[in-house]
Amino acid sequence: MKQKYNSGLEILGLIPNWLQTTSPHQRENLKSLVQRFGTKYLFDGVIPQRS
Protein backbone atom coordinates (compact mmCIF):
# COMPACT_ATOMS: atom_id res chain seq x y z
CA MET A 1 0.00 0.00 0.00
CA LYS A 2 2.75 2.39 0.95
CA GLN A 3 4.76 1.88 -2.25
CA LYS A 4 1.79 1.92 -4.61
CA TYR A 5 -0.67 4.41 -3.11
CA ASN A 6 0.74 6.54 -0.31
CA SER A 7 4.45 6.91 0.36
CA GLY A 8 3.71 8.91 3.52
CA LEU A 9 1.63 6.14 5.06
CA GLU A 10 2.71 5.20 8.59
CA ILE A 11 1.63 2.03 10.36
CA LEU A 12 0.13 2.79 13.75
CA GLY A 13 0.09 -0.82 14.88
CA LEU A 14 -1.81 -4.06 14.85
CA ILE A 15 -4.68 -5.31 16.94
CA PRO A 16 -5.00 -9.07 17.31
CA ASN A 17 -8.43 -10.24 16.19
CA TRP A 18 -10.46 -13.44 15.94
CA LEU A 19 -8.69 -14.62 19.08
CA GLN A 20 -10.23 -17.65 20.77
CA THR A 21 -9.67 -16.57 24.35
CA THR A 22 -10.39 -20.09 25.66
CA SER A 23 -7.62 -21.63 23.54
CA PRO A 24 -4.34 -22.07 25.45
CA HIS A 25 -2.49 -22.33 22.13
CA GLN A 26 -3.81 -18.98 20.87
CA ARG A 27 -3.18 -17.27 24.20
CA GLU A 28 0.41 -18.54 24.09
CA ASN A 29 0.82 -17.27 20.52
CA LEU A 30 -0.44 -13.84 21.58
CA LYS A 31 1.99 -13.85 24.50
CA SER A 32 4.90 -14.62 22.16
CA LEU A 33 3.84 -11.78 19.82
CA VAL A 34 3.85 -9.34 22.71
CA GLN A 35 7.26 -10.59 23.85
CA ARG A 36 8.69 -10.33 20.34
CA PHE A 37 7.24 -6.98 19.24
CA GLY A 38 6.30 -5.34 22.52
CA THR A 39 3.69 -2.63 22.55
CA LYS A 40 5.36 -0.61 19.81
CA TYR A 41 3.36 -2.34 17.09
CA LEU A 42 0.65 -4.14 19.06
CA PHE A 43 -2.28 -2.23 20.51
CA ASP A 44 -3.31 -3.09 24.03
CA GLY A 45 -6.33 -5.36 23.75
CA VAL A 46 -7.76 -7.93 21.36
CA ILE A 47 -10.92 -8.55 19.34
CA PRO A 48 -12.12 -12.00 20.40
CA GLN A 49 -13.81 -14.48 18.09
CA ARG A 50 -17.57 -14.52 18.59
CA SER A 51 -20.22 -16.80 17.17
Is residue 2 one of the residues assigned to a domain?
no
Residue 10 maps to a domain = no
Q: Which range marks the domain in which residue 25 is found?
A: 17-48
In a domain, 23, yes or no: yes
Q: Is 21 contained in some domain?
A: yes
φ/ψ of residue 5, rounded to 5: -115, -35
Residue of 50, 51, 47 whose CA lies nearest to 14: 47
pLDDT attached to residue 1? 87
In a domain, 6, yes or no: no
Residue 28 lies in a domain: yes
pTM of the complete model beyond 0.75: no
Q: What is the number of structural domains in the chain?
A: 1
Q: Is 5 a domain residue?
A: no
Residues 1-51: pLDDT tens digits? 889 999 999 888 889 999 998 999 999 999 998 898 887 888 888 999 987
